[in-house]
Structure 1
Amino acid sequence: MSEQNVIGKGTWIDKLASELIEREKQLGRDTSLIRVESGLGASGIPHIGSLGDAVRAYGVKLALENMGYKSELIAYSDDLDGLRKIPAGFPDSLEEHIGKPVSLIPDHTGEHESYGMNMSSRLLDGLEKLGIEYTFKRARDTYKEGLLQEQIHTILTQSERIGAKIEDLVGQEKYQKFLPYFPVCAQCSRLYVAEATEYLPDERKVRYKCCDAEIGGKKIKGCGYEGEADIKKDLGKLAWKVEFAARWSAFDIRFEAYGKDIMDSVKVNDWVADDVLNFPHPHHIKYEMFLDKGGKKISKSLGNVVTSQTWLKFGTPESILLLLYKRITGARELGFEDIPSLMDEYNELEKIFFGKIKLDNEAKLVKSKGLYEYVNLLSPPKQMPAQVSYRLLLELSKIFKEDRISRINKKLVDYRAIKETSPEIDRLIEMAGNFADEFDISDEIDIDIDSKIKGALSKLIIVLEKDGEIEDLQNEIYQIAKGDDIEPKDFFKVLYQIILSTTRGPKIGPFILDIGKKNVAEKIGKYVK
């Protein structure tokens, strides 16, 4: 790869930032500050997918800054959104609040000012633990302070035109009958039951009636109240089909990624921004949703969420950032069982970055180094930190349950895996121990094993299944390889792949004795059937 073909650090993030700047230049807009945005849902438990939206936007911010531009991430919490369903595991007492804006619902834990702020704070906590810097904006404050007032006014005065376009673009007829704005009913405090039918532009008021509505698959009775809502001071919010456009215009947003599930909303919002608000819509990239291991979309209401808080019990912040920065296209199944491979993949990237692993492919080298830098938020360590294979720690954690950290540290020194103990290694042992205690996952990877090595593995199984002590297992393994005309290093490599899903590790003989001969014989047996 020639130098001139490399954009920034060679990743999709740099390419996206470069496209964004090119578009801004073509539009002739001021680039002294380029804002990127991530919308945060506040109606249920935020998961890795929710976090990913903000983390990826932050990556674009970093790339822009690396190109010499000033940039800012706006993390916008939609805490005026109405509660549609009770997330799995939450109290039934929330039922009475279905349809109310989440910022008006009391927090069931008593720790936050509202249910919505409880959910928002969990996501913000996740961002802070990953080192993501952001400017936080809440829907409740945005509407109360009138920051979208001019956009709301323009949208409502052109509501007939917008309603017709929504039907044309996505086939939805609703907004030909009702305004794309939901007042919060002054009597029952619900959102989606208040049907707005008329806008009084001189007074900037919306006339509405509180009617029955279907919310989250359930019929919610309206209270019948009829009234007017002042868009300058009364609570209400724009429909999703137009709200993004209003935010983009008000906050001068130049980039926002979006999930496949809201494609229709983005299509309409782009048109509203361009043709109604005269604000060129932001540069976009569409990403696929994370799925659980059963292939279902990760959902707050289904309760199959993978949260950053739980992830960080088992893996580092870098393992999350690697997951999110590796690529953006394509649907991916996600579960906590992905943590071991991501932890060890990060170690491989680190070795490439510091030149411990050589790559002949120049394009792959540049991309790998760039990815490592983004995973470290463009502040990589100056020198390579001490490393230990996460899978090695998992195997040792299965053996040592009492006094785990000190006993595993001793083994690591014996194996010469580390020179000395450190708080960082202690933390890795703690995380691997948490994982070993919680999950029973035995990775079986595809390994190309020829018939000669399979024969040698079968002989090793016989040795390992014998009762009694083995005086020098390292030598036994060496002799099995030599006797079958196999290079010992090739045989050891296969054994490391079977036991640790990696190509290297501690001295194999003592390690096998530590984790258990019969345990290893069983693992090998799966590959020689």
Structure 2
Amino acid sequence: MTMPSTDALELTPEVMEAAAQSKAWPFEEARKIVKRYEGKAFPETVLFETGYGPSGLPHIGTFGEVNRTSMVRHAFRVLTEDRVKTKILCFSDDMDGLRKVPDNVPNKEMLRTHLGKPLTRVPDPFSNEYPSFGAANNARLRAFLDRFGFDYEFASSTEYYAAGRFDATLLTMLERYDAVMEIMLPSLREERAQTYSPFLPIHPKTGVVMQVPLEERKLDAGTIVWRDPDSGELFETPVTGGHCKLQWKPDWAMRWAALKVDYEMSGKDLIDSVKLAAQICTALGETPPEGFNYELFLDENGQKISKSKGNGLTIDEWLSYAPTESLSLFMFQKPKAAKKLYFDVIPRAVDEYYSFLSTYPRQDWKNRLGNPVWHMHDGAPPSIDLPVPFALLLNLVSASNAQNTDVLWGFISRHAPGVTAETHPELDRLTGYALRYFEDFVKPAKAFRAPDAVEREALAALSQTFGALPEDADAEAIQNAILDVARGIERYQDHERKSPTGGPGVSGSFFQMLYQVLLGQERGPRFGSFAALYGVRETRAMIDAALDGTPSS
């Protein structure tokens, strides 16, 4: 997913015309930036920013933000015919004070002794490999982004503050302190408003980020005067040079102003914060960036995913069971709709990715630019032949009790002669994912049930029908044979509706019964396709075992 070179961008007249009309959300977002500079020259570099709070382990939502921002950046490059330099800055708020100990990290007692200090002054709880907690989590995020090949520049809040890159804007905020307070105070509770200051000095003795009211502002000296609430001692601290940081909303606005950020998206929970930061950025004399608010990811219980709680899926967990492209597709689809992010969504995301990929070559440019894979692969999707969907692989593992990929390839090669691990490396990669996913999530949840009298009659008829089928019967012939059996059983006759799984005139409950009784699952892919892959004889043996009361395990 690396950003292509200028030569790699396919900017034919057909592509440009389709891009100008495309309603895909990355193009809609990119047009905001084009309009931002309507009637005036673009800056030397159009800056896209993403933010990261390293108080918890790297979060899959953070990846999603970089992933989606990269798609907007690519769409912008196409709309501007790649004549404008662009950059993604992945900014870590690692100078924030550690407010609480995350639930999902070791050495919690040690961390408690450093509460309040900037994350880059808190020791690494995982090992001695990194100089700080912030540095450790930053490294984890960067390693993952690098693994995906994102084209980005990483930025540390601590380093930017200490190097003086924010000094000029910090002095402007000190000068326009009253205007900033006028924006912030109405958003605060009365008690907090009485002691609020956008400036947070770093205590020169304890190293703690202090949330204290100001005694005095010295504009000529560029300092603030504040009192230690415990000792009563007065301190005078420069707002520059990393001696002081800002509350997070003013900090966000200050960063937009200082770096002249053009685009940044954020979660729906930050809508009010975006509005406040935009007002502060304007008060500092700069234009707030363009952007949009995406919906939040939810865990399987419908709760917001949290870095500190560690609920929901982590980046590494998803990638243990599916290729990276499936995660990118999940991020692309409906960014403004709340989506549950847990293990059950993985198989569908995998198969949808390859489905979009197979459709792409047959599409015209209008539809190609609406196809997720065009955005995921920066306009150059790979050509991949996948003769067996991931969902079918999972059911093959379930039926065969395969322990390794060799067993799976025995079935695959028989079903599709000439298809091998060498000729189809992508399919080989998926067999490994299927084995892991089945072992960890499908197998523990398998719950076989015995067929009732009517179902036994249906299964016996199905076994007899399978006995009459040739061993090399294709998926369509097998599916039609199953439908004929289902239509002959009164319970499964259904002439009033069409079932997406059963086909015209046959209730989907027949196919649900097959999966419950034969595989111990509630659902699965098209049963004819599964039987063709597993084998007619093997599937009949499975049916007979269920009739004998010994289902596959």
Tell me which interval the TM-score lies in, with the shorter structure as reference length. 0.7 to 0.9
For 1:173 and 1:36, the matched residues in 2 are separated by 37
Match of 2:99 in 1: 84
Match of 1:108 in 2: 125
Instruction: Report which stretch shifted further, 429-438 or 509-518.
Output: 509-518
Match of 1:408 in 2: 408
Q: How does 1:203-282 map to 2 (within 5 A)?
A: 203-211=221-229, 225-274=233-282, 276-282=283-289
Give the match's secondary structure for 2:252: helix
For 2:155 and 2:130, the matched residues in 1 are separated by 17
Give the match's secondary structure for 2:113: helix
TM-score (ref. length: structure 1): 0.82
Instruction: Report which stretch shifted further, 227-236 or 101-110.
Output: 227-236
Q: Gapped runs of 5+ residues in structure 2? A: 1-14, 447-452, 516-522, 548-553
Distance 1:500 1:152, change over 3 A: same
Tell me the CA shift for residue 300 of structure 1. Answer: 1.8
Tell me the CA shift for residue 125 of structure 1. Answer: 2.2
For 2:545 and 2:503, the matched residues in 1 are separated by 18
Q: Residue 313 of structure 1: which of 313, 316, 320 is its match?
A: 320
Distance 1:410 1:115, change over 3 A: same
Report the AA paired with residue 436 of structure 1: F
8 Å CA contact 1:496, 1:505 repeated in 2: no
8 Å CA contact 2:176, 2:284 repeated in 1: no
Distance 1:74 1:372, change over 3 A: same
Percentage of identical aligned residues? 24
Q: How does 1:29-40 map to 2 (within 5 A)?
A: 29-40=41-52
For 1:85 and 1:224, the matched residues in 2 are separated by 25
Q: Residue 7 of structure 1: which of 7, 14, 20 is its match?
A: 20
For 1:204 and 1:106, the matched residues in 2 are separated by 31
8 Å CA contact 2:294, 2:335 repeated in 1: yes
CA-atom RMSD, angstroms? 3.7
Distance 1:519 1:294, change over 3 A: farther
Report the AA paired with residue 433 of structure 1: L
Give the match's secondary structure for 1:97: coil
Match of 1:167 in 2: 185
For 1:298 and 1:106, the matched residues in 2 are separated by 26
Equivalent pairs counted in the alignment come to 490
CA deviation profile, 1:241-260 (whole Å, cap 9, x unmatched): 21112111222210000112
For 1:504 and 1:470, the matched residues in 2 are separated by 15
Q: Residue 41 of structure 1: which of 53, 56, 78 is its match?
A: 53
Q: Residue 131 of structure 1: which of 120, 145, 149 is its match?
A: 149
Distance 1:206 1:345, change over 3 A: same
Q: Residue 65 of structure 1: which of 74, 77, 93 is its match?
A: 77
Q: Residue 437 of structure 2: which of 435, 442, 445 is its match?
A: 435
For 2:369 and 2:336, the matched residues in 1 are separated by 16
8 Å CA contact 2:162, 2:242 repeated in 1: yes
Give the match's secondary structure for 1:500: coil
For 2:545 and 2:272, the matched residues in 1 are separated by 52
8 Å CA contact 1:195, 1:210 repeated in 2: no
Instruction: Report which stretch shifted further, 474-483 or 198-207.
Output: 474-483
TM-score (ref. length: structure 2): 0.78
Give the match's secondary structure for 2:262: strand
Instruction: Report which stretch shifted further, 143-152 or 6-15.
Output: 6-15
Distance 1:373 1:443, change over 3 A: farther
Report the AA paired with residue 201 of structure 1: L
Match of 2:162 in 1: 144
8 Å CA contact 1:86, 1:95 repeated in 2: yes
Q: Residue 29 of structure 2: which of 16, 19, 25 is its match?
A: 16
8 Å CA contact 1:164, 1:176 repeated in 2: no
Tell me the CA shift for residue 379 of structure 1. Answer: 2.7
Give the match's secondary structure for 2:529: coil
Instruction: Report which stretch shifted further, 222-231 or 2-11.
Output: 2-11
Q: Gapped runs of 5+ residues in structure 1? A: 212-221, 445-454, 523-529
Instruction: Report which stretch shifted further, 473-482 or 108-117.
Output: 473-482
Report the AA paired with residue 54 of structure 1: V
CA deviation profile, 1:259-314 (whole Å, cap 9, x unmatched): 1222222111101111x221110012011111111111101222204221221111
Match of 1:346 in 2: 353
Q: Residue 54 of structure 1: which of 66, 70, 76 is its match?
A: 66
Tell me the CA shift for residue 226 of structure 1. Answer: 3.4
CA deviation profile, 1:305-337 (whole Å, cap 9, x unmatched): 422122111111111110111121121111121
